[in-house]
Structure 1
Amino acid sequence: MNKKVVWVATPTFLYRNYLYQKIISKLPRNYKFLLIGTGSGYFLEILQKRGFQGTAIDISSESVSCVKKILDKNKIRVKKGDILNYQSKEKFDLIFSFEVIEHIKDDRKALSNMYKLLKPGGKLIFSVPAHMKAWGRMDEIGGHFRRYEKTSLTELLLKCGFNIENFWSYGFPFLNVIQRFSKTGMFVKNFNHGISVSEKTKKSGIRTDADPRFSFLYSNKILLYPFFLIMNFFIKTDLGFGYLVVADKKIKTKFSNILKSIHNNYAVFNDEVLDVKGRTMIARQIIKVVSIYRNNTIKPNLMKILDIGCSSGIITDYLSKEYGQVVGIDVDKESINSAKSKFKNKNLNFLVKDGSKTGFPDSSFDVIIANQIYYCFLRPKDFFDEVYRLLKPGGICYFGGRNKYTLWDAQYKLPLLSVMPRNLSDFMVKTTGRSEKFEAEYRTYWQLEKMCNKFIVEKITPKAIHNYKKFGFEKFKKYRLLFSSIPEFVWAILEPILPNFVWILKKM
């Protein structure tokens, strides 16, 4: 009797899906999606559980039939279709295409059609295998026409009209080792090699030919998670064997911006500034703290607010629902233009300005938000002096900033950068593909105190850790029993070595 062999999730499959979920966790759930290539339906089930609605197409009738059985047809429509000629009156906020484009001979035509199917500003999120030098028997078995190089894929996306937001190279170092063995096809059983590329493509997403021996090891998410975290350090390099790309539909892309993008090698957006859920939580926190310390003689709907370093504008927009007039400024013109196109409240304005020399008149604002921005200035003291100048007497600044003595850099997602020699910091961020060099210049608790000597400073950090609810620090909720059990004065003693500070700076 032949032993039945069943499909099992491989480490590569699990890591890719870990990255996919990391991206979609930050997307609004009211977005309409199109998924190209249903596969086993694993990712569609994730989308369904998260509340997304949309359409999925696949060239394989067998795949479509299998996936329909596991999904709610009222939320996700699954049908047979080919992206080369697929048409829809409905335009989509998101298009997903994972390990599909390499199966298509005319990939430019496929990407161009994806561009047409997206709404303006919509996002294409896709993955493809990387580096032709890694070509192997598994590519032939899977019906691939090619593997991609970063430069050629970048050029292809530009030609199709896309603007690249995020370009990850995944798999290094651990999955690269596995890939060296798997590319030979030695682990694939009972696969018919005498079929056309088209038929191989149809079968590739639903093959049940993987050898399940030792699957309890290589399909164990908990066991693999530490390896995932290590691989995350290298996703912004070009060392992996697969690419995961986020690109958006930009109707008019100036030639100068294209050149700039090529020159910068498509520097990745900081995930945090696009995280709607996370930024909204911070906005609520700011409003809560400001409500405690603001000038209570002025009603919120009459207050004038300045958000310095507004970036994506998510926080600024949220503030505009609470206060009378809100202005967001940033030196990044593209971020400001994007924020203007997304957020239209009448009491909200976005401007391109330098936070250390804004040009606003003296005493213009009741409240200034300066959250995680001071270290972006060459001379932070000039920045604090500008904040003081802009505040009305009795006005306050919500100041949030990172400590020089921090073990983990949240911006670069690497350890100990701010305390090690600058040459070593530069080497680490460049080697891991984070940036050309480490550009943040964090200050110590005492240095920041000195820079803020014009203000009356109220230290919020110890109070908020001890009593998260009062100050709206929702991220501390899961640690509330531990944090609240430690007296506030202990947190005050520890503040100089805490990773972040939140202070209220008041102008008298």
Structure 2
Amino acid sequence: MKICLRCQAALGDDGWRCLACGYQPPLVAGYPAFAPELAASNEGYDAAYYGDLYALEARNYWFRARNALLTWALRKYFPAARNFLEIGCGTGFVLAGIAGAMPQLAIHASEISSGGLPYAASRVPQAELFQMDARAIPYAEHFDIIGLFDVLEHIEDDVLVVAQARRALRRRGGLMITVPQHRFLWSQYDEHAHHVRRYGARELERKVLAAGFRIVMMTSFVSLVLPLMILSRFMRRAPAADFDVLAELRVGRAANFLLESVLALERALITIGARFPAGGSLLLIAQRD
């Protein structure tokens, strides 16, 4: 059900106006805004990158490989799901992949910066989109699946976000998380991407269990190319003013094809039961108790 973030009253299915206290979230850029003070500027993400990401994602090996892994996991672990919320949808690239893989899903998505929502709408026009702070989700026991894809590392109070996701899920609902992994990989990239941490597997597992979830599956990914990632991160240092956070996404066509092929092999191994202990990223699938 929808809930009023001001008084916590339950709302009807139509609209966001609270009959108990009269509050209705304002519209920012045409979308309901539940944290309008953060819609234009916030510490978690630089909205100036939306346009560049929108142009890069569809052809970049990393984004394509992550989408393929996520859609496989979604269909394997939650085939009967009816609705889905992505928290921190960015430009909607993952959202579009999920909508295409499971067209029966009612798609909902939020982004803290309202500037990303028009990009997401262009990719998934049927989605219900809104601006939101992940620390205050205006739903309770509503969704079959919630996705947090490379979002938690931007938020200081990640424990609160996971707890809010649990509240917004129905009983037995699923939580899907990806995060950057390994503290030793911390670099200029993380600083310029507004990350507050890279995760260890045990750290993420502990926080998800403490919120009241059961772990269904967890594996590293971007594992077979981890040595290349290490070299890329630590051989390419630049003065802070000159650092380009998107540079490692601008990969030549041949290299992009090769890297995507390697990650396709990695994904094939994961689908038959392999679980990698190390990798640039971590995937966790959990279920609400």
Same fold (TM over 0.5): yes
User: Which of 245, 248, 256 is the equivalent residue of 2:287?
Assistant: 248
Given the superposition, is the C-alpha separation of residues 187 and 235 from structure 1 closer, same or farther in structure 2, using an over 3 Å criterion?
Answer: farther
Question: C-alpha distance in 2, partners of 1:59/1:187?
Answer: 30
Question: C-alpha distance in 2, partners of 1:127/1:117?
Answer: 19
- Residues 277-323 of structure 1 show CA distances to partners (whole Å, capped at 9, x for unaligned) of xxxxxxxxxxxxxxxxxxxxxxxxxxxxxxxxxxxxxxxxxxxxxxx
User: Which of 193, 211, 228 is the equivalent residue of 2:266?
Assistant: 228
How far the C-alpha of 1:13 sits from its partner, in A, is 2.5
User: Which of 46, 62, 68 is the equivalent residue of 2:115?
Assistant: 62
Contact 2:89–2:95 (CA under 8 A) maintained in structure 1? yes
Question: C-alpha distance in 2, partners of 1:234/1:84?
Answer: 34
Contact 1:169–1:239 (CA under 8 A) maintained in structure 2? yes
1:129 and 2:129 equivalent? no
1:161 and 2:212 equivalent? yes
Equivalent residue number for residue 434 of structure 1: none
User: Which of 226, 246, 250 is the equivalent residue of 1:212?
Assistant: 250
Equivalent residue number for residue 385 of structure 1: none
Alignment of 1:380-419 (within 5 A): none
AA aligned to 2:255 is: L
How far the C-alpha of 1:220 sits from its partner, in A, is 6.4
Equivalent residue number for residue 478 of structure 1: none
Equivalent residue number for residue 395 of structure 1: none
Q: Matched residue of 2:144: which SS?
A: strand
Question: C-alpha distance in 1, partners of 2:165/2:264?
Answer: 35
Contact 1:217–1:223 (CA under 8 A) maintained in structure 2? no
How far the C-alpha of 1:58 sits from its partner, in A, is 0.6
Runs of 5+ consecutive residues of structure 1 not aligned to the other structure: 194-203, 251-508
1:36 and 2:75 equivalent? no
TM-score, normalization by structure 1: 0.41
Question: C-alpha distance in 1, partners of 2:259/2:200?
Answer: 29
1:24 and 2:74 equivalent? yes
Contact 1:137–1:185 (CA under 8 A) maintained in structure 2? no
Given the superposition, is the C-alpha separation of residues 208 and 67 from structure 1 closer, same or farther in structure 2, using an over 3 Å criterion?
Answer: farther
Question: In angstroms, what is the RMSD of aligned CA positions?
Answer: 3.1
Given the superposition, is the C-alpha separation of residues 126 and 229 from structure 1 closer, same or farther in structure 2, using an over 3 Å criterion?
Answer: closer
Q: Matched residue of 1:22: which SS?
A: helix
AA aligned to 1:241 is: G
Q: Matched residue of 1:244: which SS?
A: strand
Equivalent residue number for residue 104 of structure 1: 155
Counting aligned pairs with the same residue, the percent is 23
1:91 and 2:91 equivalent? no
How far the C-alpha of 1:215 sits from its partner, in A, is 3.0
Equivalent residue number for residue 370 of structure 1: none
Question: C-alpha distance in 1, partners of 2:242/2:85?
Answer: 31
| Higher relative contact order, chain-length normalized (CA < 8 Å, sep 6+) | 2
Question: C-alpha distance in 1, partners of 2:131/2:247?
Answer: 23
AA aligned to 1:247 is: A
Question: C-alpha distance in 2, partners of 1:185/1:136?
Answer: 10
How far the C-alpha of 1:25 sits from its partner, in A, is 2.4
Given the superposition, is the C-alpha separation of residues 21 and 69 from structure 1 closer, same or farther in structure 2, using an over 3 Å criterion?
Answer: same
Q: Matched residue of 1:148: which SS?
A: coil
Instruction: State which drifts further: 91-100 or 221-230.
Output: 221-230
Given the superposition, is the C-alpha separation of residues 226 and 153 from structure 1 closer, same or farther in structure 2, using an over 3 Å criterion?
Answer: closer
How far the C-alpha of 1:192 sits from its partner, in A, is 7.6
Equivalent residue number for residue 12 of structure 2: none
AA aligned to 1:117 is: A
User: Which of 63, 68, 73 is the equivalent residue of 1:13?
Assistant: 63
How far the C-alpha of 1:48 sits from its partner, in A, is 2.1
Contact 2:82–2:106 (CA under 8 A) maintained in structure 1? yes
AA aligned to 2:250 is: P
How far the C-alpha of 1:209 sits from its partner, in A, is 5.6
Which structure has the greater CA radius of gyration?
1
The number of residues matched between the two structures is 231
Question: C-alpha distance in 1, partners of 2:155/2:248?
Answer: 24
Question: C-alpha distance in 2, partners of 1:61/1:191?
Answer: 26
Q: Matched residue of 1:69: which SS?
A: helix
Equivalent residue number for residue 313 of structure 1: none
TM-score, normalization by structure 2: 0.69
